[in-house]
A and B are shown apart, each in its own frame.
Chain A
Amino acid sequence: MTPVLPPEFADLEPYSDWCLPTEAERYAKRLASSMDELQAFYDAAFPRLEQILAYLDALPLDDLPDDARLLLELTYSLVNVSFPVEVWRQPRVPDSGAASMDAIVEPAV
């Protein structure tokens, strides 16, 4: 597999399928994942969060190199799975039934 993340974060390559540009894709992958999968991704990425942000903060947010942009997208996914892992213990929001909510506007980066 061709590495897509910055070399400093090679340990997160196995989770590069979480590099997803839109909230809809991130949320869909969360719902389609098992708790074991969410936990494994969280356990790998969460301890690196501060290092990820320090790395990205040194770069211009509106002109990120491709590998850094993918790392940022992976970080958005970490945020998205934090609720299932830290609180819900299930991928779906409890008591949300069939309710759904679509992101219709979100930042480009």
Chain B
Amino acid sequence: MAHFPKPSEGSWTEHYPELGTSPVNYEDSISPEFYELERKAIFNRTWLNVGRVEQVPRAGRYFTKELQCAGTSVIIVRDKDGGVRGFHNICRHRGNKLVWSDFPNEETSGTCRQFTCKYHGWRYDLDGSLTFVQQESEFFDLDKDDYGLVPVQTEVWEGFIFVNLDSSNTTSVKEYLGEFGAGLEGYPFGEMTQVYKYRAQVGSNWKLFIDAFAEFYHAPVLHAKQATDDESRKLQGYGFEALSYVIDGPHGMVSSWGGMAPPKDPSMVKPIENVLRSGLFGPWDRPDIAGLDPLPGAVNPARSPNWGIDTFVLFPNFMLLVWAPGWYLTYHYWPTSHNSHIFEGALYFVPPKDATDRVRQELAAVTFKEYALQDGNTLEATQSMIESRAVTEFPLNDQEILLRHLHRTARGYVAEHQKSGTPVDSPVVR
């Protein structure tokens, strides 16, 4: 009983025949050896989103990003010419971590004129050049020009700051993001500067949490208690069907309907949602800013009047969710081992004009956390049972096409890396 049309092949999955339809092996999510290969083949080679330009609004503003998955830490800084630069967070003298406060393993941010190493006082300008060496005359033929900070390829796309740790990479981030990147350009991300960010330690492989957020097949069941009883029964009866799925190279997206903003029937939602006109789908009323109508081409690809949310799964670990009521959400999954990662979720709204706006956004942020806690908690149980290897292959349905694609893409990068033994520039499954 299909509610929305599927491609002529009969399914979204068969529309992309390279994906196949057979059960999927999840060894890629439980093997320590495979994770080590992913670190080399994926996290040291692809563009990784580490933040937003609003985090470095002026010259000297900086933040650090711990990239355990790639075996490094980077500094992102706004230089004196207004550019955004990235450097490995290491002093050239004897390898001390250059920028940190209190705890060397924790991320930090701030403002400075130059970076000064805590160990021996070496100083670096915002462009990375070494400007001061303590007792310079004690060194042997030291040319400061040879000891600048080690740069990391850093590019900005639509205000999102990306780094690529492969110094031989020749693909721009714009090129890497392909048709989704092009089709999202012009969305007013820069207007949405009111931020709520959450972080959680999750005891599962990084791909398992992406799996959880890349399908809505689970939503009517796992989150049944979040709706009123009548609504919950109705939702389980319908099940979930997306409006559309699109796959482009290593990336994918799912476009979904969203009847909750505002709901057709007020009795469907919680009392406070009716008073505040807000909820999981965000404040029900769109902010009055340019750029939301019409929306850029990659959004709502089915051009459905029932459209509610688009979820872009940008390989490897960045998800971007664009909501009909005019706000966006990002997810990041930073692996720390084969069966653990740090999850970050951030909500971005147009700054509130009054207390009502502000409290509406608070409700959306609180609701996000309630859902994410349920999503996150199922994962450790999944991880431990997959690790039992009692079952090794799992049937994925058509609404789980992005999971099939994600695991295939990860395996593809690893296989290509193993085959070539040398870095390649372009995504292997494009």
Interface residues of A (CB under 8 A from B): 23, 46, 49-50, 53, 56-57, 59, 61, 72, 75-76, 78-80, 82-83, 86-88, 93-107, 109
Contacts and interface: CB of A to CB of B under 8 A. Distances in A.
A98 B379 CA distance: 12
A44 to B, nearest CB: 14
A96 B381 CA distance: 12
A79 B270 contact: no
A79 B373 contact: no
B356 A105 contact: no
A95 B377 contact: yes
A21 B95 CA distance: 40
A56 B354 contact: yes
A79 B366 contact: yes
Given A86-B272, A94-B225, A104-B197, A80 B355 contact: no
Contact of A105 (B196, B222, B271, B372): B196
Nearest to B376: A99
Nearest to B228: A87
Contacts of B356: 53, 56-57
B377 A72 contact: no
B118 interface: no
B270 A101 contact: no
Given A82-B272, A101-B199, A102-B198, A95 B378 contact: yes
A66 to B, nearest CB: 15
Interface in B241-300: 270-272, 275-276
Contacts of A109: 358
A89 B374 CA distance: 16
B393 interface: no
A102 B374 contact: no
B362 to A, nearest CB: 5
B150 interface: no
B270 A94 contact: no
Contacts of A94: 225, 374
A86 B270 contact: yes
Given A93-B374, A102-B199, A104-B198, A61 B354 contact: yes
Nearest to B227: A87
B383 to A, nearest CB: 13
Contacts of B370: 83, 93
A46 B272 contact: yes
Interface in B209-224: 222
Contacts of B272: 46, 49, 78-79, 82, 86
B195 interface: yes
A50 B355 CA distance: 11
B369 interface: yes
B194 interface: yes
B195 A76 contact: no
Contacts of A59: 355
A82 B374 CA distance: 17
B31 interface: no
Interface string B343-374: 11110000011111011001101110110111
A71 to B, nearest CB: 9
A50 B385 CA distance: 48
Contacts of B367: 83
Contacts of B275: 46, 49-50
B340 to A, nearest CB: 13
